Amino acid sequence: MPELPEVETIKRTLETKIPGLSFTGVEIFLPKIIKNPAPQEFSARLPGKEIKKLERKGKYLLIRLSENLVLIIHLRMTGRLVYSLPDTPVAPHTHVIFHLNNGCQLRYGDLRQFGQISLVPASDLASFPGLSSLGPDPFDPHFTREFFKRELKKRRTMLKPLLLDQSFVSGLGNIYADEVLYRARLHPRRQSHTLTPREASCLYRAIREVLQEAIANRGTSIRDYVDGNGNEGNYQNLLKVHDREGEPCLKCGRPIVRARLGGRGTYLCPHCQKS
């Protein structure tokens, strides 16, 4: 599941390969992946556009193009974006192939077909659904500890769903929300407005530390994730609670428990994470 660290890693790997290149064409095998404009217009508009730079906003990957256009890519759960040599066998579930003017390709694959790709004028970014309502990036200078504490008090909901709410803070998904709460020693069901200043600070620090470490380890490959070169990350070996049901807590030795919260599988240590 590409969350912030995975999208950041894809961005960094593609950054060394594709800026300066231009699109020569695009093959769309599954039209519904192209959200807007309509697939036909999408493939008509893209050729000739040069890749200027890559950006990440939350879990969105933005590819800035010439003529003030932006390619917006969201990988959702199983999306992959891999820079490939033309003679590499096409992986199963490849839905879109972007052809580049150096003969190489950018391939979009997505087993569950939830991901979406759009091509919009840069001036439309601010009103683009999802992007426009995005909360601050955890590494944005505006995302200060004081800001976080203020926002936390405004909400009345459980911590886990709150961390997953992209309009609250952008970039966390199911894996890192579990890891963050474990590091902060806070129970996922804890109500956000009941946190003491000390606990809120701890949560703030945990968000940045966990994401930082995950980026340093090139993301988490539990099922599908690979970076822009097709390589797996390493953070799945460093997870402390997620996907570790029944295994001993690294602090207290008691078994990690899997609960269901807000319709999502949630891993925690009930002993170390107090309600």
The catalytic residues are: 2-3, 59, 264
Among 113, 201, 221, 231, binds DNA (CB under 7 A): 113
| Cβ-based nearer residue to DNA, 130 or 136 | 130
Question: x/- string (CB under 7 A) for DNA, residues 90-109?
Answer: ---x----------------
Q: Is 17 near DNA (CB under 7 A)?
A: no
Among 31, 103, 121, 265, binds DNA (CB under 7 A): 265
Helix (H, G, I), strand (E, B) or coil at 45: helix
Q: Find the shortest distance in angstroms from Cβ 156 to DNA.
A: 4
Distance CA 257, CA 156 (A): 25
Q: Is 56 near DNA (CB under 7 A)?
A: no
Q: Is 3 near DNA (CB under 7 A)?
A: yes
Q: Find the shortest distance in angstroms from Cβ 225 to DNA.
A: 11
Q: Is 138 near DNA (CB under 7 A)?
A: no
Q: Is 137 near DNA (CB under 7 A)?
A: no
Among 17, 25, 114, 205, binds DNA (CB under 7 A): 114
Q: Is 149 near DNA (CB under 7 A)?
A: no
Q: Find the shortest distance in angstroms from Cβ 40 to DNA.
A: 20
* Closest to 135 measured CA to CA, from 177, 167, 173, 172: 167
Torsion angle in degrees (nearest 10) through CA of 235, 2, 82, 57:
-110
Q: Is 263 near DNA (CB under 7 A)?
A: yes
* Cα–Cα–Cα angle for 145, 133, 221, rounded to 5 degrees: 75
